[in-house]
C-alpha cells in the first residue's frame, strides 16, 4: 500500500456566518491524481488553500506525510516549502523573469547555491517546455506560458504534492490545451496532484479519483467512470450533464 502524502480530517473553514468548507475528510496517496470539480463558490479554492495552510482552517486537521500542520507551533514555512501550489490567476512575480520566478524558492527557501538553483530551475522549466523563455518576464508571456512557469515554480522544489486551483480556467481553449499537456506530462512522471478542474476529457484520462464538491463539502466521489456514466447524486448528475455538453461544444 502506498504512503499517504496528504490527509485532512473533518476540515472546516467558516468566515463569519458563511461556511466555505464543511467537514471535509480526504486522503491522498503517493502518486495519486485526484480531481475536484463543482460549481463556483462551492469552496473548492478555499479547501485547497486550507490544505496548503495559506489560510488557517477553522476546525479539523491537515497532515503532510503524517505531520500535523494544524497543530500549534508548526513551522508553516517549512511545510509550505513541501507543497506546490498553482493559482487560478497564476500570480507570477512580475518583477522577475521566468527563471527568477522558479529560482526564488530554491535560493531563499531551500537555500541552494546559485549554480545548483539555476540548474534545477532550468530543469523545471524544461519539464514544462519553457526553457527557451527563461529570460522573459511574465508580462512578455502568453497566459498559457505564464501558467506553465507557474507550474514549474511549484514543481522545482520537488514538493510532496502539488495542489492546482483551476489552473486553466483563466485561459482560452487553445492555451488551456498547452497547460493540460503539461499536466499530462506531470501525471506520467507520477507526481502526486490534487487538481481543481473542469477539463473533463483530461479528468477521464488521468484521474484516480474524482470528487464532486458542492456547498463546501464532498457530495460524491469515485472513479471517473462513475461520473461519466451514472453519478448517484442528482446534483452531480445535473452538473456533469452541463459540463459534458459544454465540452462537446468546445470540441
Partner 1 sequence: MDFITEYFPLIIEGFLVTVQVTFFGAIMGLVLGTLLAIGDLYGGKIISTIIKFYVEFFRGSALVAQLFIFYFSIPTMLKIIPIPFITGLIVFALNSAAYQKGYIKGAMESVYEDQMTAALSLGLSKAQAIRYVVLPQAMRIVIPPWGNEFCSLAKSSAALLTIGVRDLTSAGKSIASWTWRVLEVYPFIALIYLLWISVVMKFLDILYNKVKIPGIEITV
Contact window for partner 1 (CB under 8 A) among 90-98, 184-192, 206-214, 227-235: 90-98
Binding pattern for the stretch 107-146 against partner 1, x by CB under 8 A and - elsewhere = -xx--------------------------xxxxx------
Nearer to partner 1, 76 or 218 (CB): 76
Which position among 37, 47, 87, 202 is part of the footprint of partner 1 (CB under 8 A)?
87
The answer to whether 65 contacts partner 1 (rule: CB under 8 A) is no
Closest CA to 102 of 76, 128, 77, 140: 128
Rounded Cα distance between 194 and 242, Å, is 23
169 part of the interface to partner 1, by CB under 8 A? no
Other CB atoms within 10 Å distance of the CB of residue 222: 15
By the rule CB under 8 A, 170 interacts with partner 1: no
Residue 179, H or E segment: helix 173-188
Q: Using the rule CB under 8 A, which residue among 29, 82, 221, 237 binds partner 1?
A: 82
Q: With CB under 8 A, what is the number of residues at the site for partner 1?
A: 30
Residue 78 is a binding residue for partner 1 (CB under 8 A): yes
CA distances from 75 to 66, 104, 112, 144 (A): 15, 19, 20, 33
Between 195 and 207, CB nearer to partner 1: 195
91 contributes a contact to partner 1 by CB under 8 A: yes
Strand ranges in the chain using DSSP code E only, listed in sequence order: 4-15, 18-29, 33-37, 59-64, 67-68, 83-86, 161-165, 193-196, 209-214, 217-222
- CB closer to partner 1, 111 vs 249: 111
- Please say whether the beta carbons of 35 and 212 come within 8 A: no
Residue (of 127, 126, 128, 120) closest to 147 by Cα position: 128
Q: What is the CA radius of gyration of the chain?
A: 18
Which of 31-39, 103-111, 113-121, 242-250 is the region at the interface with partner 1 (rule: CB under 8 A)? Answer: 103-111
Cross-strand bridge partners of residue 19: 14
CB of 137 to partner 1, least distance (A): 4
Per-residue cell: 147 = 501558467
Segment near partner 1 (CB under 8 A), from 97-105, 126-134, 166-174, 178-186?
Answer: 97-105
In the complex, minimum distance from the CB of residue 67 to partner 1, in angstroms, rounded to a whole number = 15
The site for partner 1 (CB under 8 A) is made up of: 52, 54, 77-83, 85, 87, 89, 91-95, 97, 104-105, 108-109, 136-140, 153-154, 157
Amino acid at each position: 500500500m502506498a504512503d499517504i502524502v496528504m490527509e485532512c480530517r473533518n476540515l472546516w473553514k467558516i468566515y463569519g456566518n458563511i461556511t466555505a468548507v464543511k467537514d471535509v475528510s480526504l486522503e491522498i496517496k503517493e502518486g495519486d491524481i485526484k480531481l475536484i470539480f463543482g460549481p463556483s463558490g462551492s469552496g473548492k479554492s478555499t479547501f485547497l488553500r486550507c490544505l496548503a495552510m495559506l489560510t488557517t482552517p477553522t476546525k479539523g486537521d491537515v497532515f503532510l506525510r503524517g505531520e500535523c500542520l494544524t497543530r500549534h507551533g508548526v513551522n508553516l514555512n517549512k511545510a509550505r516549502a513541501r507543497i506546490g501550489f498553482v493559482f487560478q490567476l497564476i500570480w507570477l512575480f512580475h518583477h522577475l523573469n521566468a527563471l527568477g520566478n522558479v529560482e526564488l524558492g530554491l535560493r531563499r527557501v531551500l537555500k541552494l547555491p546559485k549554480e545548483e538553483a539555476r540548474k534545477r530551475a532550468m530543469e523545471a522549466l524544461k519539464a514544462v517546455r519553457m526553457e527557451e523563455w527563461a529570460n522573459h518576464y511574465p508580462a512578455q508571456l502568453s497566459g498559457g506560458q505564464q501558467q506553465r512557469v507557474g507550474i514549474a515554480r511549484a514543481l522545482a522544489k520537488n514538493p510532496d504534492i502539488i495542489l492546482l486551483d483551476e489552473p486553466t480556467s483563466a485561459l482560452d481553449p487553445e492555451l488551456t490545451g498547452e497547460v493540460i499537456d503539461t499536466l499530462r506530462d506531470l501525471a506520467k512522471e507520477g507526481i502526486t496532484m490534487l487538481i481543481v478542474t473542469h477539463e473533463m476529457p483530461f479528468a477521464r484520462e488521468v484521474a484516480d479519483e474524482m470528487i464532486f464538491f458542492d456547498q463546501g463539502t464532498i457530495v460524491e466521489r469515485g472513479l471517473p467512470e462513475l461520473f461519466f456514466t451514472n453519478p448517484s447524486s442528482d446534483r452531480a448528475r445535473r452538473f456533469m450533464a452541463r459540463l459534458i455538453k459544454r465540452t462537446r461544444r468546445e470540441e
